[in-house]
Structures are given as C-alpha cells and as structure tokens.
Chains A and B, each alone.
Chain A
C-alpha cells in the first residue's frame, strides 16, 4: 500500500470554527489531491497540488484553502466550517497528473 496518512481520522467541530486536515505521504509523489465524498455525489475534487507551493482549484473549492510547503505534506483548511462541509475527506497522490491515484484512509468530519 502507498504510504499515505491522514490526520485526524475523525473530527467533530462547531460551525464557524477553523479546521485543518493533514495529508502526509512517504512516496515522494509530485501530485497531491483533496477530495470530498458525499452520498449521491461521489468523489469531488476540492484542490490539488502539482508541486511545492503549486496548487490549483478543483470543482468544489469554495470555503477551502490548501497549502503545500513540503513535498510530503498537503494541508486542507476550512477557514470557517459550515454544516455543508460535513463529509468524508480523502487525500490522494499520484506520480503524474491525471494518472493512477492512491488514496489515504480518509477523515470523517462532522460540523455541528
């Protein structure tokens, strides 16, 4: 299995609070991605990174920001969490863009 970890694995937070999710990889892959998965929507891309300090928006980026200061770490921040951001968040990595991706175990986030 690809070396990808996510932290925390579970989090409950209140509306309006900031939340940061971390993705860490040991594969030295260039590309990293953040997805959310919700019933009826499948996996939707939030943001992705194609290198250190290089990021771009996905299809559902509103309300989220990301940072990548090191190859191995990709952070997803919800500046002010809302109940609509309750979801399962998956991080993924790939060696090349639009190629095979390998996923982390996911973070279940509940915003009350």
Chain B
C-alpha cells in the first residue's frame, strides 16, 4: 500500500463545476498536510496547508479527518486556469523529517 494515495484521475469537468479530490495516508503519526498544484512541466506550488479544523481560501476548501486518515480538496466554480495536477502531501517526523507526495490527480477544466 502506498503511503499517500490519491484518486488516479484524470478528472474532466466543465467550467463552473465543483470538483473534489480525495487522499488517504497510511501513517497515523503524520503531522502536517498540504495540497500542491503542478502545471505541466513546471514545479509544484503550494496551494494550501490543511488544518484539522478545515480551511478555505476563496474557491478552495480543504478538510482533514485524522480518524479516517483522509484529506480532501474541493474546488468550486472551476476555471480553465484550474487545469493542473493536484498533489496531496503529508509530513511526519519519525526521527528524521519525511515528506511524502501522492502521485497526483490530473484535472482538465473545459469550456
């Protein structure tokens, strides 16, 4: 089992749609959680950190469920510019810092 698993995708959605990304992690000692986006042939960029209470940034909402070891990202009112790969990332300290990236879910938003 992979340490961080994401929906394989790709997701193809029309502009204006709401899209949800799901992610599960295997290590219950995980301490920090993030979503990154990566455009084709570019570097990953931090989209948002994920907190236990959930957090929102404009059209983006992230949720964390520690009991289920599950992270989600919701994008409302999708724009063409949201087309990218979304990476779920988990950080933990097991005597040494470790950051584990999911394989990513590709999103295509179409007009």
Contacts and interface: CB of A to CB of B under 8 A. Distances in A.
Q: Do A and B bind each other?
A: yes
Interface of A: 31, 33, 35, 40-45, 48, 50, 56, 90, 97-106
Interface residues of B, number: 21
Interface of B: 31-32, 34, 42-46, 49, 87, 91-93, 96-99, 101-104
B93 A100 contact: no
B90 to A, nearest CB: 9
Given A41-B103, A42-B102, A45-B99, A98 B93 contact: yes
Given A98-B31, A98-B32, A103 B97 contact: no
Contacts of B32: 98-99
Contacts, number: 48
A97 B49 CA distance: 14
